Amino acid sequence: MAKFSGYKCSVCGKEYTPDSVTYTCPDDGGNLDVTYDYSLLASRINPDEILSSSDASIWRYTALLPVDDPGYDGTPLKSVGWTPIYSPQSLMKELGLELLWIKDDGRNPTASFKDRASAIVVARAKEIEAEVVVTASTGNAGAALAGMAAAAAHQAVIFAPKTAPPAKIAQLLVFGAKVYLVDGNYDQAFDLSIKAAETFGWYCRNTGFNPFTAEGKKTAAYEIWEQVMVKQNLKKPLCIFISVGDGNIISGLHKGFKDLQALGWLEKIPRIFGVQSVGSAAIANAFGKGTEEILSVQADTLADSISVDMPRDGLRALRAATHTDGAYITVGDESILLAIARLGKEGIFAEPAAATAFAGLQKAIESGLITPIDPVLVMNTGSGLKDVKAAQKAVQPAPIIEPTLRALEAVMK
Ligand SMILES: *Cc1c(COP(=O)(O)O)cnc(C)c1O
Ligand SMILES: [Zn+2]
């Protein structure tokens, strides 16, 4: 018996039983939401049990997940999530905000938010007895799948653009994945990975394709609910800033809050603000035009993890903002580099795609979209160590000196 009721298409609304589909809606290719019997869940689960859980990982929410506890105790798969929340006072003052939190998902086992999705997909792979798991990735989703698959002794196959940052490619290889670097962009790697999965019978994790990725990503919403909304007894609507590429993280967050509301544990869903790079702004463009029609762009941004021509989860990503009184914001690569440097001053190291969310907050404050009384949470989706070249562009280089005090004094002037 499946732990979930089935799937519902986000485009046509058609419902499917747990065993009748695997990826997207057979009728229109729409992304599927995993559905539950919330009244049954609410009657079975006492939220206090979750709130007092000593499990410091996403597995504290096993009762609300579509998969069973997969085992693998004592492995990185079991330490995904429950990432730290910071509230840097000097930054808060500088921005003129009364309340600010930064949730650091760079602190996941493979150093990005993607571990949440990959852990759930690997657990699902075990349940459906899929030996080989495959994904297309700009780097982080692949590293997460490779790491989680390694922990669970599954074989991972990763298709990444050959331009992916070296640190991400190194992670894939070190975790023992079969890696194919595609001479093309992410969108082309995506299409190839689906053909390969069909041809060779591999289980495909692709973002905005496999419905279980959003089920993993929703755990961040549960953590924000616990760590901020319940713990701080927050009354005003929280404003969440999140970087958006394919749109699956923001959709997953939205889903998590909708779950909590359906369970009767949350009154008001936070306002969700998606931030895209000006050079990869397909969803923000649609938001700006007030339409749900998302048109492809030719992505060009240094924030590689959100460099996407055609977002694979665009519609749900758009609705995450339009249905929550949020918005979409675009920022340029220059602002993204400045955001890396500013977060660094708080001891927080973000890769470009992750710092994009903070750059979006800065812009939202400047434009008056966010006011001082709005409580704000910014997600840091990936560690700065993922892309060292970009980090170096964000700061002045260090001087190289002779090993003498005189040389030191000379440059200190
Ligand atoms: C994947 C990723 C994103 C964007 O997530 P989407 O689901 O593609 O919108 C943002 N930041 C980082 C670091 C990522 O790896
Ligand atoms: Zn459909």
pLDDT at 48: 97
Residue 109 has pLDDT above 80, yes or no: yes
Please name which ligand lies nearest the alpha carbon of 284: 1
pLDDT surpassing 80 at residue 94: yes
Statement: residue 1 has pLDDT above 80: no
Q: Is the CB of 353 under 6 A from ligand 1?
A: yes
For residue 24, pLDDT beyond 90: yes
Give me the mean pLDDT over the 14-34 stretch.
97
Predicted confidence (pLDDT) per residue in 218-266, tens digit: 999 999 999 999 999 999 999 999 999 999 999 999 999 999 999 999 9
340 with 375: CB under 8 angstroms? no
For 336-368, what is each residue's pLDDT tens digit? Answer: 999 999 999 999 999 999 999 999 999 999 999
Q: Which atom of ligand 1 is nearest to the CA of 243?
A: 10
What per-residue confidence (pLDDT) applies to 263?
98
Backbone angles phi, psi at 240, to 5 degrees: -105, 130
Ligand 2 centre from 9 Cα, in Å? 5
- What was the pLDDT predicted at 118? 98
The pLDDT, as a whole number, for residue 224 is 98
Nearest CA to ligand 1 atom 7: 248
Q: What was the pLDDT predicted at 342?
A: 98
Q: Which residue type occupies 253?
A: L
The Å distance, Cα 11 to ligand 2 centre, comes to: 5
What tokens were used for 241?
Answer: 């800033």
Q: What is the mean pLDDT of residues 47-57?
A: 97
Q: Which of 118, 140, 301 best tests ligand 1's pocket when mutated (most atoms within 8 Å of CB)?
A: 140
Question: What pLDDT is recorded for position 306?
Answer: 95
Q: Is the CB of 243 under 6 A from ligand 1?
A: yes
Shortest-distance Cα residue to atom 2 of ligand 1: 305
* Residue 185: partners with Cβ closer than 8 Å, 6 or more residues away: 161, 299, 307, 309
Q: Is the CB of 244 under 6 A from ligand 1?
A: yes
Q: Which atom of ligand 1 is nearest to the CA of 140?
A: 15
Q: Quickly state the pLDDT bin for 144 (edges 50, 70, 90).
A: very high
Q: Are 238 and 268 in contact (CB under 8 A)?
A: no
Grouping H, G, I as helix, E, B as strand and the rest as coil, residue 314 is: helix
Average pLDDT over residues 16-39: 97
pLDDT in tens, 261-276: 999 999 999 999 999 9
For residue 248, which ligand has an atom nearest its CA? 1
| Residues making up the chain, counted from first to last | 413
CA 45 to ligand 1 centroid distance, Å: 31
Cβ(351)–Cβ(383) under 8 Å?
yes
Separation of CA 235 and ligand 1 centre (Å): 29
Q: Are strands 132-136 and 155-161 parallel, antiparallel or unpaired?
A: parallel
For residue 263, count CB atoms less than 10 angstroms from its CB and return exposed for 0-12, middle for 13-18, buried for 19 or more: middle
Q: What is the mean pLDDT of residues 61-87?
A: 98
Average pLDDT over residues 195-208: 97
pLDDT digits 0-9 by tens, 265-304: 999 999 999 999 999 999 999 999 999 999 999 999 999 9
Residue to substitute in 305, 307, 348 for testing ligand 1 pocket (most ligand atoms within 8 angstroms of CB): 305
Number of the ligand 1 atom closest to the C-alpha atom of 244:
9
Map out the domains of the chain as residue ranges: 1-35, 77-110+214-393
How high is the pLDDT of residue 2?
83
The verdict on the CB of residue 381 being under 6 Å from ligand 1 is: yes
Q: Give the ligand at the shortest distance from the Cα of 137.
A: 1
Ligand sitting nearest the alpha carbon of 304: 1
- Answer whether residue 168 shows pLDDT above 80: yes
The average pLDDT across 196-202 equals 98
Distance from residue 306's CA to the centre of ligand 1 (Å): 6
- DSSP-assigned letter for residue 383: B
**What is the DSSP track for 389-413?**
HHHHHTSPPPPP--SSHHHHHHHH-
77-110+214-393 is a CATH 3.60.9.10 domain: no
Mean pLDDT across the chain, nearest whole number?
A: 97
Q: Is 121 in the pocket of ligand 1 (CB under 6 A)?
A: no
Does the pLDDT of residue 308 top 90, yes or no? yes
Expressed in angstroms and rounded, the spacing between residue 114 Cα and the centre of ligand 1 is: 8
